[in-house]
Amino acid sequence: MQRAIHGFLIGSVIFVLVAGLAAVGAYLATDGQIIFTAQNLILRLQLANLQAELDTPFSSDSNPIRFRIAPGSGAGAIAAALVDQGLIRDAELFINYARVEGFDRRFEAGMYFLNQAQSIRQIAAILTDSSKSFISFRMPEGARIEELAALVDQNALFDFSGAEFLLLIDEGAELPTAIAAWAGIPEGASLEGFMFPDTYQLPPDITAVALRDTLLRSFRERVGDSLRAAALEQNLTLYQVATLASIVEREAVWRDEHALIASVYRNRLAIGMALEADPTVQYGLQGARGSWWPQITQADYHAVNSPYNTYLNRELPPGPIASPGLSAIQAAIYPEESEYFYFRAACDGSHYHKFAITFDEHLQNAC
């Protein structure tokens, strides 16, 4: 009997040793995947009872929060930062979920825009691709730089204020020398008219300087050297072109009128006639009436004392009054050939204009 027991014990020890060696062999052969898979299975079973927590956001606040993953950050550091910024409540739950789903090996360094209305599942998935984080920014035609600064403030994704941006583009700011020389922008002038209107997809970590340079680069690329050469052949700098184009942009509602409206102003300039453009009077008010583009009266034509007021001053105003789009710029360089010297809004509410050669004809076009 004792011999049988002894044999059984020896056999058990041998079995354990063989099983242990087999397990070690399997572990080495699979590079640790057996233990890893077992741990994952245990975590997955634990998470099965925590589905509600995985899907419950921190709050209903959807305001964007800038969240940065530094290079080399692991799931633990990322989870701790998410807790610190009030994006999740449970760091361990985030770590376990990321491990089970394989997100912990796919987290990507970069800047992200998260919010408290996103769940742990959603946040973990987002943090694997920083290329999807961008700032969509629309710069409309006919906006002045103060309005552009307001648009920066209205976009919560920017990490700088409209006031900070305005300091870089307003009068007295240091101008980038390359664009200033290319466009003929005078020293001390603002960059009014050169913040090219378009819809931009911007990197999430963009700075105020980079935004300025992006808009300037877009102006140069879209206008190009050929239009610049055409302007110079007419003894016009791009600064002068942008000035005239900004008036055309503010006067016209429809792009198909740009070239004809530009012809009126070019005809007036050719004979030394005052441009008498209402938007220049509005610009001269500098927001004094609570709006950058207020309703004006005929009395304002002579009451607004500003170098931009083209009722009081002949020739082009000192500089652009807004950001013209490409159509208005092209129209300023290539106006439609016409004999018109006057235009006024049509009476049908279409926002098109009636054009006239003589002042008497202009009066007859009144509503």
Q: How many C-beta neighbours within 10 Å does residue 202 have? A: 16
Residue 9: the pLDDT is 44
Render pLDDT for 264-273 as a digit per residue (tens, 0 to 9).
999 999 999 9
Task: Report, as an integer, the average pLDDT of 140-169.
Answer: 96
Highest mean pLDDT among 12-16, 130-134, 175-179: 175-179
Residue 27: the pLDDT is 42
Q: Which of 36-40, 224-228, 287-291 has the lowest mean pLDDT?
A: 36-40
Task: Report, as an integer, the average pLDDT of 181-194.
Answer: 96
Closest CA to 214 of 145, 139, 159, 133: 139
Closest CA to 157 of 86, 67, 64, 61: 64
Residue 312: the pLDDT is 96
pLDDT over threshold 60, residue 26: no
Give the residues across from 198 on adjacent strands.
139
Task: Report, as an integer, the average pLDDT of 62-91.
Answer: 94
**Domains defined for the chain, CATH in brackets:** 47-132 (3.30.1490.480), 139-336 (no CATH)
Task: Report, as an integer, the average pLDDT of 264-286.
Answer: 97
* Residue at 361: amino acid letter: E
Q: Which of 128-132, 272-276, 345-349, 357-361 has the lowest mean pLDDT?
A: 128-132
Going from the C-alpha of 147 to that of each of 83, 189, 217, 230, 293, the distances in angstroms are 37, 18, 20, 30, 11
Q: What are 255's two structure tokens?
A: 């792009």
Under DSSP, is residue 366 helix (H, G, I), strand (E, B) or coil? Answer: coil
Phi (first) and psi of residue 316, to 5 degrees: -70, 150
Under DSSP, is residue 237 helix (H, G, I), strand (E, B) or coil? Answer: coil
Task: Report, as an integer, the average pLDDT of 110-119.
Answer: 94
pTM of the model: 0.81
Q: What are 119's two structure tokens?
A: 């769940």
Residue 1 parent element (H or E): none
Residue 118: the pLDDT is 96
pLDDT band at 362 (very low <50, low <70, confident <90, very high): very high
pLDDT band at 139 (very low <50, low <70, confident <90, very high): very high
Q: What are 59's two structure tokens?
A: 């709050």
Helix axes 258-270, 326-333, angle to 10 degrees: 40
Residue 109: the pLDDT is 93
pLDDT over threshold 50, residue 95: yes
Mean per-residue pLDDT over the chain, rounded: 89
Task: Report, as an integer, the average pLDDT of 309-318.
Answer: 95
Task: Report, as an integer, the average pLDDT of 307-316.
Answer: 95
pLDDT band at 48 (very low <50, low <70, confident <90, very high): low
pLDDT over threshold 60, residue 278: yes
Beta strands 342-345; 198-202: pairing state: unpaired
Angle at 119 between CA 113 and CA 125, to 5 degrees: 65
Going through the chain in order, the beta strands assigned E by DSSP cover: 65-69, 110-114, 135-139, 198-202, 342-345, 353-356
Residue 35: the pLDDT is 53
pLDDT band at 131 (very low <50, low <70, confident <90, very high): confident
For residues 145 and 137, give the distance between their C-alpha atoms in angstroms, rounded to a whole number. Answer: 15
Residue 36: the pLDDT is 52
Going from the C-alpha of 247 to that of each of 27, 259, 322, the distances in angstroms are 76, 12, 8
DSSP state string for 34-73: HHHHHHHHHHHHHHTT-HHHHH--S-S----EEEEEPTT-
